[in-house]
């Protein structure tokens, strides 16, 4: 029988590479936590209706990419394709918006699932870190989120990303723009699928990547020329705040995003070293989503950054994160008695906060020292029967090769000193 493989469009995170993923998640979360966002965790699946209503019945995510299924009990569920609808659902369910302390700021980190055509940077199982600020209409909040994502990427050393910014208007000006766009699109030479899209979701046509469609869109009406006075003023404030914070961004009037809940501010972080799957993160304002899923009016804004693509961006820029070694001290017992003594010492060292490992499996000295070197440890503890009889172990510096005996009862202190 052949061995099992990870399902198509998925991959495993394996040491040592997996350490980079953890570090990227931490680096994205750090600025967000400093800005008052609290951690939220929601189930990996939800009622399918939540996404159908929230993300949009006519989006690719809902019509083509959702892992939807019926349970044995007859519930219609879906693996979450994104986090925003779930996080808002959780906030509403817990009544977080009722405490009079708005916005409710939440961040999350987890796995998401989309049945997409797999390629480099596009997977069926991927990982996001996200942040949502629920229940406040304030351009400073939109700007805060863009700045936090920018700072997260910068803290990883990334430089080759750009920020694309747009406004998708509100319930007042969107229908006017939509009608103008539909009228324009109906005059073009388009295939049947795209013509259908003009009726259900005309803004998505602007996102069509096919050259034959693109070339016809050059004169399409742009939302920025149709924004109502409130949306125009709001967008101007977001832009001013970003500019004052020294954040460079590009206005992209064709940025429409793949989810239907957006209003006003939308943005995407794109990285130029990633080929076609260039969006490393994206987000925006979603003032109507709460009402769409049965809640009160709660204007909100947020983003999600793709961990997989952020790691690819690091690789594209040749950045290796400086990660602390997972093991500082590696213990090498020579013989059964030494094994027992060192096993106890390893536990003591770990309890004292020193990352310590032991040569398991009765390895000989040569093999055990090889493992010590491979572990990345700075120090080795070597103990044979003769040393132990005198209450000693050998402390070896694996960089310089120097070795000296230390008393067992002073071991934790001596190791700490040697690591300082
Ligand atoms: P999104 O643009 O669909 O937005 O996804 C955010 C990021 O997740 C993308 O920029 C990309 O880096 C990553 N991503 C998405 N799909 C895949 C995939 N198939 N493989 C690898 N990475 C992927 C959202 O999900 C919204 N919930 C963001 C948001 C939060 N808007 C407001 N609040």
CATH number for the domain that contains residue 380: 3.40.50.800
> Which residue of 166, 309, 316 sits with most ligand 1 atoms within 8 Å of its CB, as the best mutation to test the pocket?
309
* Centre of ligand 1 from the C-alpha of residue 112, in Å: 9
**Final residue belonging to a domain, choices 264, 282, 316:** 316
**Final residue belonging to a domain, choices 316, 337, 363:** 316
126 Cβ below 6 A of ligand 1: yes
Residues 95 and 124 in one domain: yes
Atom index in ligand 1 nearest the CA of residue 132 equals: 33
Residues 60 and 153 in one domain: yes
pLDDT, average across residues 2-24: 95
Confidence of residue 1 (pLDDT cuts 50, 70, 90): low
CB 169 within 8 A of CB 226: yes
Q: What's the domain count of the chain?
A: 2
Digit-coded pLDDT (tens) for 327-340: 999 999 999 999 99
Phi and psi at 22, nearest 5°, equal -60, -45
82 Cβ below 6 A of ligand 1: yes
Confidence of residue 299 (pLDDT cuts 50, 70, 90): very high
Residues 51 and 26 in one domain: yes
Domain membership flag for residue 82: yes
280 Cβ below 6 A of ligand 1: yes
* Centre of ligand 1 from the C-alpha of residue 281, in Å: 6
CB 382 within 8 A of CB 398: no
Residues 239 and 353 in one domain: no
* Centre of ligand 1 from the C-alpha of residue 304, in Å: 6
Domain membership flag for residue 374: yes
Domain membership flag for residue 1: no
* Centre of ligand 1 from the C-alpha of residue 236, in Å: 26
Residues 280 and 142 in one domain: yes
Domain membership flag for residue 8: no
Atom index in ligand 1 nearest the CA of residue 269 equals: 10
Residues 266 and 311 in one domain: yes
* pLDDT at residue number 363: 87
**Final residue belonging to a domain, choices 289, 316, 343:** 316
pLDDT above 90 (res 289): yes
Confidence of residue 232 (pLDDT cuts 50, 70, 90): very high
Domain containing 404 equals 329-419
65 Cβ below 6 A of ligand 1: no
* pLDDT at residue number 228: 97
Residues 6+ positions from 149 with CB-CB distance below 8 Å: 28, 269, 281, 283, 303, 305
Distance CA 65, CA 87 (A): 20
Residues 366 and 276 in one domain: no
Residues 413 and 341 in one domain: yes
For residue 333 the two structure tokens come to: 């017992």
**Cα angle vertex 32, ends 30, 35, to 5°?**
115
């Amino acid at each position: 029988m052949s061995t099992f493989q990870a399902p198509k469009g998925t991959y495993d995170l394996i040491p040592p590479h997996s350490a980079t993923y953890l570090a990227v998640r931490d680096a994205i979360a750090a600025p967000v936590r400093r800005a008052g966002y609290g951690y939220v965790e929601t189930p990996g699946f939800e009622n399918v209706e939540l996404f159908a209503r929230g993300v949009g019945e006519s989006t690719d995510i809902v019509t083509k990419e959702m892992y939807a299924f019926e349970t044995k009990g007859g519930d219609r569920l879906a693996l979450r394709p994104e986090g925003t609808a779930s996080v808002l659902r959780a906030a509403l369910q817990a009544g977080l918006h009722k405490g009079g302390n708005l916005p409710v700021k939440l961040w999350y980190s987890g796995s998401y699932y989309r049945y997409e055509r797999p390629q480099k940077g596009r997977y069926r199982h991927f990982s996001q870190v996200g942040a949502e600020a629920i229940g406040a209409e304030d351009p400073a909040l939109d700007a805060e989120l863009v700045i936090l994502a920018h700072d997260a990427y910068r803290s990883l050393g990334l430089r080759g990303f750009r920020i694309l910014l747009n406004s998708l208007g509100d319930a007042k000006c969107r229908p006017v723009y939509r009608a103008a766009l539909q009228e324009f699109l109906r005059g073009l030479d388009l295939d049947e699928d795209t013509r259908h899209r003009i009726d259900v979701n005309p803004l998505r046509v602007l996102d069509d990547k096919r050259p034959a469609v693109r070339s016809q869109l050059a004169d399409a009406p742009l939302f920025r020329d149709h924004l109502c006075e409130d949306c125009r003023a709001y967008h101007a404030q977001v832009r001013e705040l970003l500019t004052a914070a020294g954040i460079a961004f590009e206005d992209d009037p064709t940025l429409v995003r793949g989810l239907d809940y957006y209003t006003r501010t939308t943005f995407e972080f794109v990285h130029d070293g990633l080929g076609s799957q260039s969006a490393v993160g994206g987000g925006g304002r979603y003032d109507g989503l709460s009402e769409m899923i049965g809640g009160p009016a709660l204007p909100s804004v947020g983003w999600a950054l793709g961990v997989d693509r952020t790691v690819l961006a690091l690789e594209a820029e040749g950045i290796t994160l400086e990660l602390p070694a997972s093991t500082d001290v590696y213990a090498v017992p020579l013989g059964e008695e030494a094994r027992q003594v060192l096993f106890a010492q390893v536990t003591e060292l770990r309890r004292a906060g020193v990352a310590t490992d032991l040569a398991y499996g009765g390895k000989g000295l040569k093999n055990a020292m090889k493992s010590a070197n491979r572990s990345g440890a700075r120090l080795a503890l070597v103990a044979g029967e003769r040393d132990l009889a005198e209450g000693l172990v050998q402390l070896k510096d694996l960089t310089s090769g120097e070795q000296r005996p230390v008393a067992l009862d002073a071991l934790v202190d001596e190791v700490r000193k040697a690591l300082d």
